[in-house]
Amino acid sequence: MSTTVQRVVVGVDGSAGSLAALRIGLAEAERHGAVLRPVLALVPPGGEIAERRWPSPPELQRIWTGDARVRLLKACGQVLPEGVDGVEVEPEVVRGAPGAVLVDCAPASTDLLVLGACGHGTLSRLRPHSVSRYCLRHANCPVLVVHPDEAEEPADGGRAEQ
């Protein structure tokens, strides 16, 4: 069984945590010579249950998908330098619940799933449906959860303390 990372999947929603995860994901993709796949999970505005019961017109669904793609590309543009050298970047919008979407996008043991943490407080630890908790329980690959302040680059250009 190979332990080489071939694809780095990063959950992106535009939050500070997801931008930090994207920075770390890029570094991991560069380090392993892996594909970087930023993924934004698209949940319809009324939720999946409402959408199944009362489907929206296809035109409205195209608008949601287009808006989500713009958000994803904007987040990528904030973090990824133009023409990332040596890393193939495959941004994708996938419809569904974020945890399930991210686990499905990183099915192989040679994948690495990188997520941004939503917070440090007691309330965030008690939330039973957090995306990171879901991914940690269900993923078939290693999962790296990044707090926004952990991904900050040192001012002197050196490595951050581990």
pLDDT at residue number 153: 54
Question: Which residues are paired to 35 by β-bridges?
Answer: 7
Question: What would the two tokens of residue 20 be?
Answer: 């930090």
Most trustworthy range by pLDDT among 21-35, 45-59, 117-131: 21-35
Q: Which residues contact 58 (CB under 8 A, 6 or more apart)?
A: none
pLDDT at residue number 63: 93
Residue with tokens 């392993």: 32
10 by DSSP, 3-state: which? Answer: strand
Question: Which residues are paired to 94 by β-bridges?
Answer: 41
What number does CATH give the domain 7-151? 3.40.50.620
Cβ atoms of 105 and 2 within 8 Å: the answer is no
pLDDT at residue number 79: 92
**Residues of the chain with pLDDT > 70: what percent?**
83
Cβ atoms of 44 and 50 within 8 Å: the answer is yes
pLDDT at residue number 18: 95
The DSSP secondary structure of 116-148, one letter per residue, reads: E---SSHHHHH-TT-HHHHHHHH-SS-EEEE-G
Taking the domains of the chain in order of start, what are their residue ranges?
7-151
pLDDT at residue number 157: 45
Cβ atoms of 58 and 30 within 8 Å: the answer is no
- The pLDDT-based confidence of 151 (bands split at 50, 70, 90) is low
